[in-house]
Amino acid sequence: MAKLLAALGVLLTLQMVSSTMLVCYVTNWAQYRPGAGKFTPANVDPFLCTHVVYTLATISPDNQLVTIEWNDETMYEQLNDLKLTNPNMKTLLSVGGLVNGVSPFVSMVFTPEGRNTFIRSALTFLRTHNFDGLDLAWEFPGQNGSPLDDKQRFTVLLTELRTAIMQEAIDNKKPPLLLSIKAGAMRDTIDYAYEVPEVSSQVDFISIMTYDYHGAWESRTGHNSPLHSSGLDTGSHVHHNIESTVTYWLDEGADAGKLLMGFPTYGRTFHLTTSNTNLGAPADGPANAGPYTREAGFWSYYEVCSFTSSGTVSWIDEQKVPYATHGSSWVGYDNKESYAAKAAWLGTKSLGGAAVWTLDLDDFAGSFCGDGAYPLVNHLRNSLGFPPKPTTTAAPTTTPDPIKDFCKGRPDGLYPNAADETTYFQCFRGNTYLHSCQPGLVFVDACKCCNYP
**Helix 336-348 and helix 242-251, axial crossing angle in degrees, nearest 10:** 20
Name the DSSP letter for residue 257. G
Q: Round to the nearest angstrom and report the end-to-end CA distance of the chain.
A: 48
Q: Which are the contacts of 309, defined by CB distance < 8 A and separation ≥ 6?
A: none
Respond yes or no: is residue 139 known to be catalytic.
yes
CA-wise closest residue to 92 among 63, 50, 54, 46: 54
> In the beta sheet, which residues pair with residue 435?
424
CB atoms within 10 A of CB 310: 9
Return phi, psi of residue 79, to 5°: -65, -50
Q: What is the largest CA-CA distance in the chain?
A: 74
Beta strands in 72-155 (DSSP E): 90-96, 133-137
Number of DSSP helices (H) and strands (E) in the chain, helices first: 11, 19
Cα 49 to Cα 421: distance, rounded to the nearest angstrom: 28
Q: Measured on CA atoms in the order 222, 228, 229, 231, is the torsion positive or negative?
A: negative
Given the residues 73, 139, 252, 303, the one annotated as active site: 139
Cα 106 to chain centroid, rounded = 25
Cα 98 to chain centroid, rounded = 21
Query: Helix, strand, or coil here: 251?
Result: helix
Query: Helix, strand, or coil here: 422?
Result: coil
Residues recognised as catalytic: 139
